[in-house]
Amino acid sequence: MPRTLGVTRVGRSELRWGERTYIMGIVNVTPDSFSGDGLGGDVKAALEQARRFADEGADIIDVGGESTRPGAQPVDLEEERRRVLPSIERIAAAVSVPVSVDTYKAQIAREAIAAGAAMINDVWGLKKDARLAEAASAAGVPLVLMHNQETREYAGLLADIVRSLGKSVEQAKAAGVRWENIIVDPGIGFGKTKEHNLEVMRRLRELRVLGRPILLGASRKSTIGLVLDLPPGQRLEGTAATVAIGIANGADIVRVHEVREMARVARMADASVRFGVEGG
């Protein structure tokens, strides 16, 4: 196991980096998710999905209340609060798998942690609300820092992503976030063309220079749709390919919509590329 990655605690769970790939199951409590799986404010449906994901092999349940699809309207604090907090509270109380809150707003993150969340997943890597790092530091919870930008222009794709994420990592450390609590995400589908996304997946291992675990979130993304000419609901096989390729290229967590199927893909990929994995 790489010495620089160590062990990250999420709630009552330990993520022992390098031993296997961890599965993050997506629970969208939005009415307008790009992937067509938005549950809106249906807390019962969110809880049922979280329970099913836990049974299917999820290591983390990621709950988000604001769509990141192109053209989606920003959600104000009160609406995001109304969407995510009741679901997080119910899921955290009923499911042993730790809960992550998918938000870039520090106030929502603080309230989600009070409701039971044990991780923060920031799709803007502290660019929208730097106070998010302070919230993670105060609570002692892991923080996912994703690369994102307004344009699709790069001087050098991977170099620019590494540089941007490096700044986010330093910002988090300066706010008191512990080294072992920082996770990086290259941001598939965010500020990138199809060609950019494919190149990032090919060159994912270059993010290892940051010394932190890598989360890959390519599930049902538009790049898969563009390559296969398929709508979100028919991108299972394409997602499986990105998961397998991502693991082969260094991903430590995969964020997915289909937990059962991707847990199987991850286990097979781990048996092929990691030493000491059961069944290898």
- Catalytic residue selected from 255, 260, 264, 274: 255
Contact between 213 and 17 (Cβ < 8 Å): yes
The DSSP output letter for 214 is: B
For tokens 């063309």, the residue is 193
For tokens 């969110």, the residue is 46
Q: Copy the structure tokens of residue 9.
A: 């605690």
The yes-or-no answer on residue 255 being catalytic is yes
List strand residue ranges (DSSP E) for the chain, in order.
Answer: 7-10, 13-16, 22-28, 60-64, 99-102, 119-122, 143-146, 182-185, 215-216, 253-256
- Catalytic residue selected from 105, 127, 192, 221: 221
Distances (CA, A) of 51 to 46, 61, 86, 120, 259: 9, 9, 15, 20, 11
Spatial separation of the C-alpha atoms in residues 232 and 53, rounded to whole Å: 19
The yes-or-no answer on residue 44 being catalytic is no
As annotated, the active-site residues are 221, 255
